[in-house]
Structure 1
Amino acid sequence: MKLKNTLIACLAALSSSLIHAAPTFVFTAIPDQDETRLKERFAKVSSYLEEQLDTEVRFVPVKSYAAAITSFRNNQVQLAWFGGLSGVKARLLVPGAQAIAQDVEDPNFKSYFIAHESTGLISQPDASSKTLPSDVQGKTFTFGSKGSTSGRLMPEFFLRKQFDQAPDDIFSRVGFSGNHSRTIALVETGAYQLGAVNYKVWDSAVAAGKVDTSKVNVIGETPGYPDYQWTVRGDLDSQFGEGFTAKVKQALLNMQDEELLASFPRKGFIPATNADFDPILKVGKQVGLID
């Protein structure tokens, strides 16, 4: 009888500890680069957040932009590193969701238009031009992911604005590479003659010696627009305790380790609000990517 009572007490204690155990804080990120790069980047972020938040933190990779949004909507993740468009879409699906932090450069982000050397366009004198040469018409073109702000939404918006036509009418063939790293590779090999790419991914790849700029180079860029941001679910405090949302935000704003920031690459984070991304909401509706 004594053994039985002891066993019951142990089980009760174990049950109580499981009930009151702190939940794991899970986050994800849009797969805008190759998987190896993403894992390196966010493993560091996970360790940093775990230390700052004093709770277990886990990074969960996803295969697509849509999967990142779905995971956020279903509460499989509570924090996400979204692009402008994916963040807007996710917040529309989760009541109370908030954009809380962005990089100092994210309010004025941009995309590059790149070309293969066979087009004869990579020797254009002004690669920072906000308009593209008319010679791009009739060539093949690849965006990044269908849900990417810098790899699809904003490049398409500015293409439509300049040529007053849809991409399918401007180019002989239009594709979607899936991410920025692959866009660069496809244009460098000549599989596509032209492409649109996140300027930070391009600049980092060039600086690392991963791009042969004699074969592919920048021929123009978009005007600035708001893009990447950290977004949290609206029920974060009810899941992890009062004040947890503010604690997560402060941890991100306090991120100062140069090695950690370089993995993004970012210079540091500043506060963000949902209203900062109203231009993306507006353009998304105009292009037909948001209902």
Structure 2
Amino acid sequence: MIHSVIRTAVMGVALMFTATVTLAEETFVFTAIPDEDETKLVERFTGVADYLSEELGVPVRYVPVKSYAATVSAFRNNQVQLAWFGGLSGVQARRLVPGSEAIAQGKEDPAFYSYFIAHKDSGLEPMQSLQPSLEGKTFTFGSKGSTSGRLMPEFYIREAFGKAPDDIFSRVGYSDNHSRTLRLVEAGTYQVGALSYQVWESELEAGNIDTDQVQVIYKTPAYPDYQWTIRGDVDERFGEGFKQRVTEALLSLDDPELLKSFPRSTFIPASNEDYEPIRKVAEQIGILD
């Protein structure tokens, strides 16, 4: 009798464990590059998780990460199945995970651009092209893996001066995200910085920039940037047609508050081929092998 009770209890625990594992396996997990303050990212992507869970009929969870490289690693290791990448991080991730696809991008993303900003004490004024007056200044990029905060600004700097940033500026730094780039230049820690135009515009609209201390001095030419990338094996894990359902859910997202938090007006279809210009630039300046 005692043995029977024990056996039943053990079986019950085993069934509970199996159910827990099954539930975990059925949770669709995604992440995003940490390009802004973490508080903003958690608010934005928790809302996206709730939306996707309702649309897909499965539990969906957003997992924040601490760096661009960690975002790519989580995708590579199948810790997440979907990610909101920048142009460069998306290219890196898809190279590491055969079969993964860019499936959606913001309407604004095919023609994205960066701002160069400068502290008032730098003496720099707005310019139509990158000028020799930039030489000898202190300069901060965003993350080393950022498209709008590092890759494309560095490309245009090299194109204009024929030299690497370390040979142009007196000091070069990496702030880790666009918000921090803005604050470092605003405070005068660096004289010049490069960041996403959208972060600047959002902060400006919110009244969070001291325009007596910092201003935009240069706008880069346009290039493709952010996108949603999904692993190619999600249909095997979540059922036939799941990738298409995720794609349709993202393209159908029309919640004004969620879209504004990106900020994007809507999402449109994307493909891996859209980001070939980013791959070529990254290879050209030695970021991709």
For Structure 1 versus Structure 2, the TM-score category normalised by the shorter chain is: over 0.9
Secondary structure of the equivalent of 1:197?
Answer: strand
Question: For the Cα contact (< 8 Å) 1:110–1:221, is it kept in 2?
Answer: yes
Q: Does 1:146 align with 2:149?
A: no
Question: For the Cα contact (< 8 Å) 1:132–1:219, is it kept in 2?
Answer: no
CA distance 1:262–1:6, change in 2 (3 Å): same
CA distance in 2 between counterparts of 1:12 and 1:192 reads 58
CA distance in 2 between counterparts of 1:154 and 1:6 reads 63
CA distance 1:138–1:75, change in 2 (3 Å): same
From 109, 114, 119, give the equivalent of 1:111.
Answer: 114
CA distance in 2 between counterparts of 1:104 and 1:235 reads 27
Structure 1: unaligned runs, 5 residues or longer: none
Structure 2: unaligned runs, 5 residues or longer: none
1:161 equivalent in structure 2: 159
CA distance in 2 between counterparts of 1:63 and 1:15 reads 31
Post-superposition Cα deviations, 1:114-135, rounded to whole Å, max 9, x if no partner, equal 000011224x3x5xx2x12321
1:280 equivalent in structure 2: 278
CA distance 1:171–1:243, change in 2 (3 Å): same
Q: CA RMSD in A?
A: 1.7
1:120 equivalent in structure 2: 123
2:179 equivalent in structure 1: 181
Secondary structure of the equivalent of 1:226?
Answer: coil
CA distance in 2 between counterparts of 1:46 and 1:112 reads 30
> Displacement, 1:260?
0.8
Q: Does 1:290 align with 2:269?
A: no
Question: Percent identical across equivalent pairs?
Answer: 61
From 254, 270, 277, give the equivalent of 2:268.
Answer: 270
CA distance in 2 between counterparts of 1:203 and 1:227 reads 17
Q: Does 1:80 align with 2:83?
A: yes
> Displacement, 1:170?
1.1
Question: For the Cα contact (< 8 Å) 1:100–1:273, is it kept in 2?
Answer: yes
CA distance 1:9–1:113, change in 2 (3 Å): closer
Post-superposition Cα deviations, 1:6-37, rounded to whole Å, max 9, x if no partner, equal 66875676566456546111000000001111
From 200, 215, 219, give the equivalent of 2:217.
Answer: 219
Question: For the Cα contact (< 8 Å) 1:141–1:175, is it kept in 2?
Answer: yes
Post-superposition Cα deviations, 1:92-132, rounded to whole Å, max 9, x if no partner, equal 0001000000001100000000000011224x3x5xx2x12
CA distance in 1 between counterparts of 2:185 and 2:73 reads 30
Provide TM-score, normalisation by structure 2: 0.94
CA distance 1:188–1:20, change in 2 (3 Å): closer
1:132 equivalent in structure 2: 130
Secondary structure of the equivalent of 2:133?
Answer: helix
Structure 2 residue identity aligned to 1:190 = G
Q: Does 1:59 align with 2:62?
A: yes
Question: For the Cα contact (< 8 Å) 1:116–1:188, is it kept in 2?
Answer: yes
Structure 1 residue identity aligned to 2:106 = D
Question: For the Cα contact (< 8 Å) 1:144–1:183, is it kept in 2?
Answer: yes
CA distance in 1 between counterparts of 2:132 and 2:9 reads 80
2:105 equivalent in structure 1: 102
Structure 2 residue identity aligned to 1:114 = I
Q: Does 1:29 align with 2:32?
A: yes
> Displacement, 1:146?
0.4
> Displacement, 1:40?
1.0
CA distance 1:107–1:13, change in 2 (3 Å): same
2:95 equivalent in structure 1: 92
1:251 equivalent in structure 2: 249
CA distance 1:120–1:25, change in 2 (3 Å): same
CA distance in 1 between counterparts of 2:22 and 2:30 reads 21
Structure 2 residue identity aligned to 1:215 = Q
2:206 equivalent in structure 1: 208
